[in-house]
Amino acid sequence: MGDRSSSPDDVVFTIDLGTGGPKVALVSLAGDVIEHEHRRVDMQFVPGGGALEDPGQWWSAIVESAGAIADRSTVDPVRIVAAACTGQWGSTVPVDRGGQACGPCMLWLDQRGGALAAKQLGGRLVVEGYRPRAAIEWIRRSGGAPSPEGNDPLGHRLWIRREEPDVYADTAVFLEPVDYLNLRLTGVPAATQASMTLSWLTDNRRLDCVDYDPLLVKFAGVDPGRLPRLALIASVVGTVLPEVAESLGIPAGLPVVSGLPDLHTAALGSGAVADHHAHLVIGTSAWVGCHAPDKRTSLANQMATVPSALPGRYILANNHDSGGASMEWLRDMVVAPDDGLGRGEPTLGDLDVVAAEVGPGAGGVMFAPWLKGQRSPNADTAIRASFLNIGIDTGRPEMVRAVLEGVAHQMKWILDRSEKVLHHDLTDIHILGGGAQSDLWCQIHADILGRTLRRVEEPLLANVRGAAMFAGMVTGRLRVGEMEGRAPIDRTFEPDPRVTGMFAARHDEFLRLTKSQRRMYHRLNASG
C-alpha cells in the first residue's frame, strides 16, 4: 500500500451486490459517482425457510449494467485504475473446479440449516445454544460464533452436505458472494479474514490472518479442503482477465482489490471512519456500525466487533434482517400484490406520501418488523412480524406509517444494545442506504432514536463510494484521513422534542413484545 502518483480524477470500477441485485458504478477517488446502473435479481423463497439467488443472474445483470455504462460514459478508460467488489455477506456460493457456481447461492436469510447447526454447535450441556468449550474458544479467538439458527455459512455448508450431496460432491470451494465476483473477474478463488468473518474460522485477535484456526474449523465441522485460501484484507487478489474486461468494457489487467462486505464499505462510504463514529443503514437488511479499537462480543445479542478494512481497527457488526425488506413486503404483498386485483405498482416514494397522511405514532398502531425472525439483538428465527392495536378505523396510512416506525424501533433497540456491548456512546451518526432516500423515514428514525442523524449524499450509492475509497487505499492512492471529506452530507435530521417522549413510551412497549409473544410464536411455528 505504498504511495503512488494519484489524482482525484482516478476512477474505480465498482460492483455492489445487494440482496436486491447488483449496482455497477464508476467512482472517482474524489468520491463522485460518475456513472451507475442497477439491475434487480429474483430472490426465491423455498419451503423450510430457504432463501436463494442465482449467481448466474448476478453476473448477467453486472454485464448488462457495465455495457450500458460503457455505451454512454465519457470517462477515458485510462483513468480507471482498479476494480473493487462489495456486497451482501453471510451467504454461500458453492463453486466447482472450473470456477462456476454449481448450485444457487444460499442467502443470509436462509434458515434451513438450523437443526444441523444447532446439533453441530450444541451438546449435552448448552449455553445460549453452544456447548461451553466451543463458545469460550470462539469468543476468545474469533470474537463471535456461527449461529445455531443456521442462517449463516456454517448452516449453509451443513445443509448442502446433508441435503444436496450431488452439489456438495461437485463443490471445490465455498465462497462468499464478493469473493465469487472476484473469482469471475480474476479467475482467483481467494477470500480474506474480513469476507470470511461470518464463518468465524479465523483468530481475530490478530488483524493480519492468512490462515484458518484449526480448532475452530474442527468445531464447525468444515472440510478445510473446501475453504478458499486467505489473502490479507487490504490486498490485490488478481487482475481482470482479458475476456472479462471485453465483456465489461473496462481495461484488461486492472488490479482487483480484495472483496469487502457491505458493512465495511458502508462505513468507508459514509465518511464516519473515526472510532465510535457510527453509520446506520436502511437497506434490505438494516444495521448500526462503527469502527472500534478492540475486540468485543455479545453472543446473546448477536453482535461483535470484527476485523475492519482499516489497518489495526475493528468494526461493529450486527443485523436486522427485515429493514427495507419490511416496506417491500408491505408494497408487494399487501398494498399492491400481483394477484390481478391491483391498480399498478406503487413506488416506495408513493408509500411515503400515504404514511405522511397520519401523524407520529401511526394512530396508535404498532408493527413488529420480524418477517424472517430476529437476529440482532435477540436471535430467534421462530418469531414473526405482527401489526398491533388495529381498530375499526385503522386505514392504510396508519399501517404504512407503523411499518416505518417499527423498523426504527428495532434500530433503536440495536443501537442501545450496541453501546452497552462497546461500553461507549456512538456519535456522529450518518444514515445511508435505499431507505435513507426517504426524508420521512430519516425523520422517524431521528425521532425514535432521539439522535441527530446526518444523511450522506446519494445514500443509495454509499457502498460503491466506499469500495472505491478502499481500492484507493489498497493501491496507495488515498490515505484513510482523506475519506471523511469525500462523503458529503446533504441533510441533517434533528429529533422533534414534541414527539420524543411519546416514542420513548412506545419503545418500552415494543421491547416487551418479544417476551410477551415468544412462546406463542414458538408454538405456532413449531413445525419449522
Closest CA to 305 of 430, 279, 313: 313
**CB distance 34 to 12 below 8 Å:** no
Residue 264, CA distances (Å) to 269, 286, 310, 361, 408 in order: 9, 14, 9, 34, 22
The cell numbers describing 185, all together, are 473477474
Write down the pTM of the prediction.
0.90
Q: Which of 337, 204, 286 is nearest to 459 (CA)?
A: 286
Query: Could you read off the pLDDT tens digit of each residue along the chain, which spans 528 residues?
Result: 545 555 778 999 999 999 989 999 999 999 999 999 999 999 999 999 999 999 999 999 999 999 999 999 999 999 999 999 999 999 999 999 999 999 999 999 999 999 999 999 998 888 778 999 999 999 999 988 999 989 999 999 999 999 999 999 999 999 999 999 999 999 999 999 999 999 999 999 999 899 999 999 999 999 999 999 999 999 999 999 999 999 999 999 999 999 999 999 999 999 999 999 999 999 888 999 999 999 998 888 889 999 999 999 999 999 998 899 899 999 888 887 654 444 567 888 899 999 999 999 999 999 999 998 898 998 888 899 999 999 999 999 999 999 999 999 999 999 999 999 999 999 999 999 999 999 999 999 999 999 999 999 999 999 999 999 999 999 999 999 899 888 999 999 999 999 999 999 999 999 999 889 999 999 998 755
Q: How far apart are CA 113 and CA 159, in angstroms?
A: 5
DSSP label at residue 335: I
What single-letter amino acid sits at 186?
T
User: What does DSSP say about strands 11-18 and 21-28: parallel, antiparallel, or unpaired?
Assistant: antiparallel
What is residue 344's predicted lDDT score, i.e. its pLDDT? Answer: 62
Instruction: Determine the pLDDT at residue 66.
Output: 98
- Cell numbers 469502527 correspond to 291
- What pLDDT sits at residue 289? 96
pLDDT at 8: 72
Give me the domains of the chain, ranges plus CATH numbers: 11-258 (3.30.420.40), 271-528 (3.30.420.40)
What is the C-alpha to C-alpha distance for residues 101 and 172, in angstroms, rounded to an integer? 10
By residue count, the chain amounts to 528
